[in-house]
A and B are shown apart, each in its own frame.
Chain A
């Protein structure tokens, strides 16, 4: 594995995002939905804050990130181009990490326009900088974790729609784990720690805790290793 190959693959995938309309549509939808909720709060409730934006983000990203990552391997498997990719002097790790990085970077880029909300909020109100910074740092980890899951699922199927739906289901399960524990007996409350929302909200409070970062990093590492195993499974 080397950085160069993964970087080349990442660049190609990012370029592919910008040459296809799908990614623009997904980003536009993401911004429209977020913009609607943000400005509803802003004008209707006269709240100049981003707390609700970050509260919705784990759910929104759970839907949008799989739409970005679904094609990464499925399309290659469908067209057969994966055969060319994997017979070039690259390891399966290079390919998976390149694609995972492309998905993460694109998810991060889709957040860039929301910095306008932050600027608006800073101008109009006097927000606490901790949650803003924490929110964006958490958002990057959140996007990367969902992207890793998306890449892993995409590596298992030729069908992009299947890849989208399975990744969505996995993401929603992780999200729900933080949010349904209220209904569970107290013995099962520990399940909360497996939920993605729980860890994201911790960071979004402005408290960047090592444990929360470890949670996101473990998701990424597990998903990347699983994707490599799934792709190498074909060899057997």
Chain B
């Protein structure tokens, strides 16, 4: 459905996006995840023909953006960050304007349908500048879906919303995602976990990871950590003991509290908890806590994004 190859974007000398390639299949909800300034918005703007890539090509439904931007724009519904829609219009007029600009014929019926789906029926005759952020976002979403596009591109659709609105918008996106290809960008990890089938993590203009959310979870299972908290020994002794156990990875010190704490990485499919218990017992220490910590998407993200920076500097 969407395929981008070797996309690069320079703003003057600054490289915002660096030679990234990805392809997205029909019917997937894909999250573009990355810290602020990673190149998410730039990537989306290139997909929507707002920006021209410095290098690389984008195919949307087998149409090249560089060759037929008008056709591509017809296929896409786009909601830019913070939904910058005309404040001087009432919602209904705005949607009517968008419909006529897109050449939609039965616009009144279409608007009524979309208003129902997006839950904006009660604000149809309000001025857009008077709407709350949540409603404004929904009007932007309604605008993006008015022409029933195959692809929906949403730039930070939930930023600045309160928790209830966030849940509402996510529900709406999931609902829409059943019938359409959706790409959304976000820097909130739980959002990707909650809504997306697939995640592309971008950092410093590079793709740091590209996988299905389910796979990322299972691959992260290979990098679990065990938290051990004891008394009776200092960290040095504890870490030596833990490191000597077969299957244990690097050990990190855990600070805080009166207990001596360490966190040890464990390699795939191996449970070393009985060994740790025995080691503690042999040394005559007192075990206060031992917990298996499954790595969340959050820590994968932290690892990938901060690790990338270290490499470059």
Residues of chain A touching chain B, judged by Cβ–Cβ distance below 8 Å, are: 4-5, 8-9, 11-12, 15-16, 19-20, 79-81, 83-84, 86-91, 234-236
Contacts and interface: CB of A to CB of B under 8 A. Distances in A.
B89 A80 contact: no
Interface string B72-116: 011010101110111111000100011011110000000000000
B48 interface: yes
A43 B284 CA distance: 113
B51 A8 contact: no
A195 to B, nearest CB: 36
13 contacts: A8-B101, A9-B101, A16-B88, A20-B88, A80-B80, A80-B81, A81-B86, A84-B143, A89-B70, A89-B71, A89-B74, A89-B102, A90-B70
B49 interface: yes
Contacts of B52: 235-236
B102 A84 contact: no
Report, nearest first, the 9 A-B pairs whose CB atoms are least far apart.
Answer: A80-B84, A235-B52, A89-B73, A83-B80, A81-B84, A87-B48, A87-B78, A8-B101, A89-B74
Interface of B is mostly: loop
A81 B83 CA distance: 8
Given A84-B140, A89-B70, A89-B71, 19 more contacts: A5-B101, A80-B81, A80-B82, A81-B85, A83-B78, A83-B80, A84-B143, A86-B50, A87-B48, A87-B73, A87-B76, A87-B80, A88-B73, A88-B98, A88-B102, A89-B73, A89-B74, A235-B52, A236-B54
B87 A79 contact: yes
B85 A19 contact: no
Contacts of B73: 87-90
Contact of B100 (A8, A84, A234): A8
Interface of B: 45, 48-52, 54, 70-71, 73-74, 76, 78, 80-82, 84-89, 93, 97-98, 100-103, 140, 143
Contacts of B48: 87
A12 to B, nearest CB: 5
A90 B140 CA distance: 18
A35 to B, nearest CB: 29
Contacts of B80: 80, 83-84, 87
A4 B102 CA distance: 10
A79 B80 CA distance: 11
B66 to A, nearest CB: 11
B61 to A, nearest CB: 14
A15 B74 CA distance: 25
A87 B47 CA distance: 10
A80 B82 CA distance: 9
B84 A91 contact: no
B85 A84 contact: yes
A90 B101 contact: yes
Given A8-B97, A84-B80, A87-B76, A235 B51 contact: yes
A16 B89 contact: yes
Contacts of A4: 103
Nearest to A78: B84
A231 to B, nearest CB: 11
A57 to B, nearest CB: 29
A4 B99 CA distance: 12
Nearest to A79: B84
B84 A234 contact: no
A234 B76 CA distance: 20
